[in-house]
Amino acid sequence: MKLTIEEFAEHFQIRKLSKDENIRDFDCGDEDLNEFLIKDAPLYQKALLANTYIIENKENGSIGAYFSLANDRIAIKDFPNNTEFNRFRRHRFVNEKRLTNYPAVKLCRFAVSDNVKGMSIGTFLLDYLKSWFVNDNRTGCRFITVDAYHDAEPFYLKNGFIYLTASDVDRSTRLMFFDLINIE
Ligand SMILES: CC(C)(COP(=O)(O)OP(=O)(O)OC[C@H]1O[C@@H](n2cnc3c(N)ncnc32)[C@H](O)[C@@H]1OP(=O)(O)O)[C@@H](O)C(=O)NCCC(=O)NCCS
């Protein structure tokens, strides 16, 4: 069953994981992602390495989803050679000064609980992030990047992400990005 954005807002709230908060129960079907939320997220937050946001059911407090974010960049080193980087750059920055890095935010972890998968919550959260980093961000940020799990690639493609290069096609995760200029 798909939720409307109004139903999502009525039943769920998004908030940053509090200091020293421990989540006990979350299952998205992927052990690494479950474990990150339960064990590692508070440590990453304390060490200023990644901030985690939880999507909480307003009625019973259960966690419907979470995502973790950290600063990132798209840089020459992400491409197999300078030619591919220049192609990426020229295509998007026609008149701008030549930079060797472009500011981005990395979606380090992203998971929707098995109980509420397929209800459009993942899509709503990506839309929320896109608008957040264009309208409310304090620093320049041009791209959202993600190391997409193979199974989740169709989900990111549906949400406007594209592959950065073809050189990671055989890896277990692929670097994908969304260009935030698309929603300005
Ligand atoms: C990937 C994930 C975040 C998607 O969240 P979700 O709330 O279930 O996604 P949505 O309901 O917004 O789906 C949007 C579209 O993507 C498709 N989609 C979602 N997950 C998919 C998957 N694993 N494979 C193929 N298509 C998928 C949906 O079918 C839907 O398409 P439709 O609009 O044509 O029906 C969620 O399935 C999940 O947490 N998976 C396990 C963890 C994971 O892989 N995280 C990503 C790590 S990079």
Q: Which atom of ligand 1 is nearest to the CA of 148?
A: 48
Q: Which domains does the chain have, with CATH numbers?
A: 5-183 (3.40.630.30)
53-57, 92-96, 101-105, 147-151: segment of lowest average pLDDT: 92-96
Regarding beta strands 143-149 and 101-112, do their DSSP bridges make them parallel or antiparallel, or are they unpaired? Answer: parallel
Token output for 34: 């479950």
Is the CB of 123 within 6 Å of ligand 1?
yes
Look at residue 102 and give its three-state secondary structure. strand
Does residue 64 line the site of ligand 1, with CB under 6 A?
no
Asked if 45 and 51 count as a contact pair (C-beta separation under 8 A), the reply is yes
For residue range 65-112, what is the model confidence (pLDDT) as tens digits? 999 999 999 999 999 999 999 999 999 998 778 899 999 999 999 999
For position 6, what pLDDT does the model report? 96
Task: Give the position, in ligand 1's atom list, of the atom nearest the Cα of 123.
Answer: 12
Ligand 1 neighbour 29 (Cβ under 6 A)? yes
User: With a 6 A CB cut-off, is 146 part of the ligand 1 pocket?
Assistant: yes
Largest CA distance in the chain: 53
The predicted structure's pLDDT at residue 75: 96
